[in-house]
Each structure stands twice: as C-alpha cells, then as structure tokens.
Amino acid sequence: MTDALKVVPSKDRVSTGVRDTEAVAQGLADVLADTYRLVFKTHAYHWNVEGPLFYAVHNLTEGQYEEMFAAADELAERIRALGHLAPWQLSAVMEMSRVKDAEGLMSANDMLDDLASDHENLAHRLHALVELAEDSKDPVTEDLATERSTFHEKAAWMLRALAKS
C-alpha cells in the first residue's frame, strides 16, 4: 500500500474569520443528519405510496429526495471547509437527527403530512443555524442555511397543498 492511501482524515485549522467554527460545524452536522435521514424517508414513501395520489406523490418526492441528496454533499463540504470532519457513521447521523421513522403503514395523505412536518422542523433548525452563523461572522454558512430553509419551507407547502387533494 502506498503512503497516499494511509492518510487519515483530520480536523484542520482554518483562519477565515469565522468565529466558533466548532459550533457552526456542529449545527451543519445536525442539519446534515436531518437531511440525510429525510432523504431516506422521502425515498421510502416514494417507493411505497399507493392510491389516487400515487403519480403526484411519486413525482414530487422524487424531485425532493434528489435535491436533498445533493444538498447533503454541500452541507458536508461546508463542514470540511470550516476545518471539521463531517459525520461518517450512520449511528451518529441517527443520533443527531430529529427526523423520526413513522410507525406502521401510512396512507398517502399521512405520508404527505409526515413529510411536511419534517420539512418544517428542519426549516426551524436551519433558522437557528442562520442566527448562529450570523453571530459567528460566517456569511457563507448563513447563505447556505437560508437557501436550505427556503427549499424546506417550499417543500412543506407543496406537500401540504397536495394533501388537500
């Protein structure tokens, strides 16, 4: 094995003027955990929805989980840019996440309501991250958190609107 393959990831000192990178990175990791878990939940509902709303829910959730999967990469890369390690154990993701598994089988309407609530809760978490980033003089994370909150607020609205069908 070459030495290049023996490099172990580590934290780095980053000096960009961001204060308390540890707290900001943890806030990002929490959001990343919620995002990653919500990707799976959304994908599971996408696979299992049935009934008259099948096509609409199937298509809406596909767009949402694809967008969130890409966002997970952006969140992890921001953590690394701040000099910290992104979560790399599924158990840590599960522990940090506030997104919970549903109990039992659900109707399409229940799936929509459940996902909408998760998106709203994630938007709240992102609002707190916006404030933390602002206090930490981190406009990059502030912008990223604002962008992510915009997505989750719109996703919740669209899911709730579809549930009224």
Please name which of 108, 117, 107, 106 lies closest in space to residue 34, comparing C-alpha atoms: 117
Q: Which letter does DSSP use for residue 164 in this model?
A: T
Q: Which two tokens stand for residue 71?
A: 């966002």
The tens place of each residue's pLDDT in the chain, 165 residues long, gives: 678 777 777 677 877 889 999 999 999 999 999 999 999 999 999 999 999 999 999 999 999 999 999 999 999 999 999 999 999 999 999 999 999 999 999 999 999 999 999 999 999 999 999 999 999 999 999 999 999 999 999 999 999 999 997
Q: Name the one residue in this structure whose structure tokens are 């938007």.
A: 123
The CATH H-level (homologous superfamily) assignment of domain 18-95+105-163 is: Ferritin, core subunit, four-helix bundle (1.20.1260.10)
